């Protein structure tokens, strides 16, 4: 599963290209998300999405684009996903889709730049090329230990990001400056 706005800086084309090496019966790549609000079909975003769809058609019939999803649909896609991939070539900001994947307790893979930003174990990252990503996808699909590592790391990461933790940290910050 890829989840989020379909924008160039997220590296979706790499994920689609990697699917060439891992597609087989029963494996479906779901690209879930839509264009940013300001995009039009004629805009750079629109052309980018059209190029993704054209590339997907040449690679596999098992690549599905959902378009924009309502929040009430998120759970269906995350719960059905065996893996969520974040192929971002570099880290730009906090990732809402990443936190959603962790909150739904889904195994994940991230690019090395993304992983180093969050301190994610190297086994859950890939070099920024389609062969490295394809190899990691195959490893994660066949190695329970790797899936368990992703789930354990995600749980630990999310434990420090509850509203209670945020409240404690905020109170601590205010007390330290007063």
Mean local confidence (pLDDT), 44-59: 91
65: pLDDT confidence band, cut at 50, 70 and 90? very high
Instruction: Find the helix or strand (DSSP H, E) in which 110 lies.
Output: strand 108-111
Mean local confidence (pLDDT), 84-107: 90
CA-based torsion, 86, 92, 98, 100: positive or negative: negative
**Regarding the domain delimited by 2-177, which CATH topology (the fold level of the hierarchy) does it fall under?**
Rossmann fold (3.40.50)
Pick from 151, 55, 121, 132: which is nearest to 89 by CA?
132
Residue 30, pLDDT above cutoff 90: yes
pLDDT at position 162, please?
82
Strands 84-86 and 63-67: unpaired
CA dist 54 and 40 (Å) reads: 17
pLDDT at position 165, please?
85
CA-based torsion, 72, 27, 51, 134: positive or negative: positive
CB neighbours of residue 33 within 10 Å: 22
The pTM assigned to this predicted structure is 0.87
For the chain, give the mean pLDDT.
91
Per-residue model confidence as pLDDT tens digits over 111-142:
999 999 999 999 999 999 999 999 999 999 99
User: Per-domain residue ranges for the chain?
Assistant: 2-177
Mean local confidence (pLDDT), 152-169: 89
Range in 37-41, 104-108, 133-137, 157-161 with the lowest mean pLDDT: 37-41
């Amino acid at each position: 599963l890829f989840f989020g706005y379909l924008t160039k800086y997220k590296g979706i084309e790499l994920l689609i290209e990697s699917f060439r090496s891992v597609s087989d019966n029963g494996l479906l790549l779901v690209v879930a998300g839509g264009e940013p609000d300001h995009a039009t079909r004629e805009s750079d975003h629109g052309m980018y999405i059209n190029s993704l769809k054209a590339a997907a058609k040449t690679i596999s019939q098992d690549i599905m684009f959902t378009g924009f999803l309502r929040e009430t649909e998120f759970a269906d896609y995350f719960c059905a996903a065996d893996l969520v991939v974040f192929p971002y070539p570099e880290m730009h900001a906090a990732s809402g889709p990443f936190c959603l994947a962790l909150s739904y307790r889904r195994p994940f893979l991230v690019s090395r730049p993304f992983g180093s930003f969050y301190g994610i174990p190297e086994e859950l990252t890939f070099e920024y090329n389609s062969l490295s990503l394809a190899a990691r996808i195959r490893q994660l699909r066949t190695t329970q230990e790797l899936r368990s590592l992703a789930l354990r790391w995600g749980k630990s990461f999310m434990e420090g990001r509850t509203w209670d933790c945020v409240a404690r940290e905020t109170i601590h910050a205010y007390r330290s400056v007063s």
